[in-house]
Amino acid sequence: MSDKMIHAYSGDEIDVHWDKRLCIHISECVQADDPLFEVGREPWCVPDEVAKAEVREVCERCPSGALSYVDKDGTPEQPASENTGQVVYNGPLYLSGELDIEGAPEDMPGVRFRAALCRCGASKNKPFCDNSHIAAGFEDFGAIGQSGPGLDPGSAASDGPLKIKAIPDGPLKMEGRLTLKAASGRSAWQGTKTALCRCGASKNKPFCDASHRAIGFKSD
């Protein structure tokens, strides 16, 4: 991968990495009320401008995993205590937690904790979102009608990371503890196994209803 896709910003105590492949410009970084990131400044990220704890916190706001960091005392980012999927109004699926995305490159450390996955079917960077839903006119307001089987704390199936597999020409297969949140913010569905639509055509979004077969969805 070209060095131009991954930019490193060094500090005395912590380094920040920005991955252009994953960035969908949500602007949680530049909107932060501190001088860590400043549009128009060169470099736009200066880790030594704020405390190390603040660098970590701001980077962890990035929902796509485009921002990651290397804490020089060896303390790695920790996953959120709960695996969640936030359905975005007319947009992607934001995942957070302990994530195991099959096929994710080793040089994308942020997506082990945070990722924005395509729901419209038009991304040129599948399974990740690249904002193609905007040009495609994708429309889904993010309601979730089902509640799911729930989470059994005594079930072995509930242990470990959330495993995500993008089925070729098919849905996103999820295995592991997961809470899905509607676009309204409501915790709606809970379970340990599901298949989520990534072709944009399901009539039961965010879940797959096999519409990818009828429309001839191609994931490559």
Question: CATH number for the domain including 96?
Answer: 3.40.5.90
- 54 is a domain residue: yes
The residue among 50, 71, 92 that closes a domain is 71
- 146 is a domain residue: yes
pLDDT at residue 151, rounded to an integer: 93
- 122 is a domain residue: yes
Q: Which residues, at least 6 apart from 135, have a Cβ–Cβ distance to it below 8 Å? A: 122
Range of the domain at 16: 3-71
56 plus 102 within the same structural domain: no
- 76 is a domain residue: no
pLDDT at residue 205, rounded to an integer: 98
Mean pLDDT for back-to-back runs of 10 residues, the chain (220 residues) = 80 98 97 97 97 98 98 95 97 98 97 98 98 98 97 65 98 97 98 98 98 97
- 77 is a domain residue: no
Q: What does each C-alpha distance from 195 to 7, 52, 142, 161, 210 come to in angstroms?
A: 34, 38, 16, 16, 10
33 plus 89 within the same structural domain: no
Predicted TM-score (pTM) of this structure: 0.95
The total of other beta-carbon atoms located within 10 Å of residue 192's CB is: 21
88 plus 47 within the same structural domain: no
Joined tokens for residue 150: 């729930």
Nearest CA among 111, 104, 83, 108 for reference residue 175: 83
**Residues 80, 63: Cα–Cα separation, whole Å:** 12
**Structural domain tally of the chain?**
2
SS3 of 182-213: CCCCCEEEEEEEEEECCCCCCCCCCECCCHHH
**Residues 113, 65: Cα–Cα separation, whole Å:** 7
Question: CATH number for the domain including 62?
Answer: 3.30.70
pLDDT at residue 161, rounded to an integer: 95
Joined tokens for residue 41: 């400044």
pLDDT at residue 155, rounded to an integer: 57
102 plus 137 within the same structural domain: yes
The residue among 15, 44, 71 that closes a domain is 71
102 plus 203 within the same structural domain: yes
Instruction: Put residue 165 in one of left, alpha, beta given phi > 0 → left and psi -120 to 50 → alpha.
Output: beta
